[in-house]
Amino acid sequence: MLNVEKIKSDFPIFARTMRDGKRLVYLDSGATSQKPLSVLAAERDFYEKHNAAVHRGAHQLAEEATDLYEGAREKVARFIGAESDEVIFTKNATESLNLLAYSWSNSSINQSNSSENKNPFALKPGDEILISEMEHHANLIPWQELANRTGATLKWFRVTQEGRLNFDPALITEKTKIVALTHQSNVLGTINPISEIAHEVKKYGAIFVVDACQSIPHFAVNVKELGADFIAFSGHKALGPTGVGVLWGRRELLNAMPPFLTGGSMIETVTMERSTYAPVPQRFEAGVPNMAQVIGLGAAIDYLSSVGMSHIAEHEHELTKYALSELQKIPGLAIVGPRDTENRGAVLSFTVEGIHPHDLGQVLDEYGIAVRTGYHCAWPLMRAMNVVATTRASFYLYNNATDVDELVAGITRAQEFFKTLPSGLQR
């Protein structure tokens, strides 16, 4: 098991106190993770010693900056089992998914003006895009908009009341061109059987996109073994800085895609009449990138690798098991999503009878407990689960059983404050 106290010492934010000197109990890593000293130091070191525009300039600073930047790309590639030229840096996972949607929109426009019919990304009326009810808005709205621009039809898998994906292979047909699913739900914690789904998707030659924001930071993921065509995740959920995301794609597909953003750094030749584009990944990294943030992400991956993803996954599994057990002992509390640890991650959403999630979050905040409240950028999922909003606790490598105990105690205090506990249970 992890030495959580030693790990906490690597994160300066845990040295501070919250309201009235209370200890910080950070249970919102599903929104953004905290950053270890090594990540902060990597960003600072870049600005203090190596700051220059990457892939530009013939001077020493530019060479050093480029080496650090491309070194981070190699670290990301090794971490997810990819090749370095298949890794594209973006601003965040939202941008990664929009990059795909707009690239395919451009493909559709270009093909409509051509007599050829060879582009695998071109969509037309009658084609179908398949998603699910449990998607974060970042893996929903880009596909809605792509369908609107191209005339394609958007369809989706339902979610069971237990919080599992109701995977119906019959929804995948010859008309299906794109399937886009989350690996792990940011609300329910449900881990979807991506490899099994990939097998079905490939039967029809559709392109499979996976939102891995809630999986890659928490357990080992090999993108080639997973069977997807494209995978997106954000650095800031994986101990890295904000402002950097990753898009991985199979090389042959990336080579066939038109760019989303155009401008400097992504070109091969430019005349006044036309331009040609650089090979991947530079083709999709127009302009000066978020250099320090990318380098910080490399440091975050170093940190996660040093701890060991298998150890992190085991720790979170046991912590989730304990949290599920303790939370379900609270009268009036209902877990929204799977109530056991089978194929689920360390994200727990719940409601408490008689207390609005926002009110519960405010009470917990008074005790130094940071949770997320609301609909978690997943309105359709909230409707599917018959809730308006939930309180969400999300765990990471720096959490332990004491944090769970503090959460349970905080919820009980909130019930006492709002007088929602049965009279016999009031203190």
pLDDT values of the chain reduced to their tens digit, one per residue, 427 residues: 799 999 999 999 999 999 999 999 999 999 999 999 999 999 999 999 999 999 988 899 999 999 999 999 999 999 999 999 999 999 999 999 999 999 998 887 666 555 455 577 789 999 999 999 999 999 999 999 999 999 999 999 999 999 999 999 999 999 999 999 999 999 999 999 999 999 999 999 999 999 999 999 999 999 999 999 999 999 999 999 999 999 999 999 999 999 989 999 999 999 999 999 999 999 999 999 999 999 999 999 999 999 999 999 999 999 999 999 999 999 999 999 999 999 999 999 999 999 999 999 999 999 999 999 999 999 999 999 999 999 999 999 999 999 999 999 999 999 999 999 865 555 5
pLDDT, one tens digit per residue, over 396-427 is: 999 999 999 999 999 999 999 999 986 555 55
Residue keyed to tokens 């300066």? 12
Q: Is the alpha carbon torsion for 346, 394, 96, 98 positive or negative? A: positive
Cα–Cα distance between 199 and 227 in angstroms, integer?
7
Nearest 5 degrees, angle CA 322-CA 327-CA 328? 105
Paired strand residues for 154: 129
Is 3.30.450.20 the CATH classification of the domain at 41-305?
Answer: no
Predicted local distance difference test score (pLDDT) of residue 426? 56
Coil, helix or strand for 204? coil
Is residue 88 within 8 A of residue 248, CB to CB? The reply is yes
Is the pTM higher than 0.85? The answer reads yes
Is residue 298 within 8 A of residue 75, CB to CB? The reply is yes
Measured from the Cβ of residue 137, the count of other Cβ atoms closer than 10 Å reads 16
Looking at domain 4-30+308-425, which of 3.40.50.2300, 3.90.1150.10, 3.30.1280.10, 3.50.50.60 is its CATH number? 3.90.1150.10
Predicted local distance difference test score (pLDDT) of residue 423? 59
Amino acid in position 208: F
pLDDT, one tens digit per residue, over 25-72 is: 999 999 999 999 999 999 999 999 999 999 988 899 999 999 999 999
Predicted local distance difference test score (pLDDT) of residue 115? 47
Coil, helix or strand for 150? helix
Q: Locate the domains of the chain by residue range.
A: 4-30+308-425, 41-305
Question: Beta strands of 1-91 (E only): which ranges?
Answer: 25-26, 87-90
Rg of the chain taking only CA atoms, in angstroms = 23
* Distance from chain centroid for Cα 397: 17
Is residue 136 within 8 A of residue 213, CB to CB? The reply is yes
Run of H or E including 336? strand 333-336
Q: What 8-state DSSP symbol labels residue 104?
A: H
| Residues noted as catalytic | 377
Biggest CA-to-CA distance, the chain:
80
Tokens at 377, concatenated: 């950028």
Run of H or E including 21? none
Paired strand residues for 153: 128
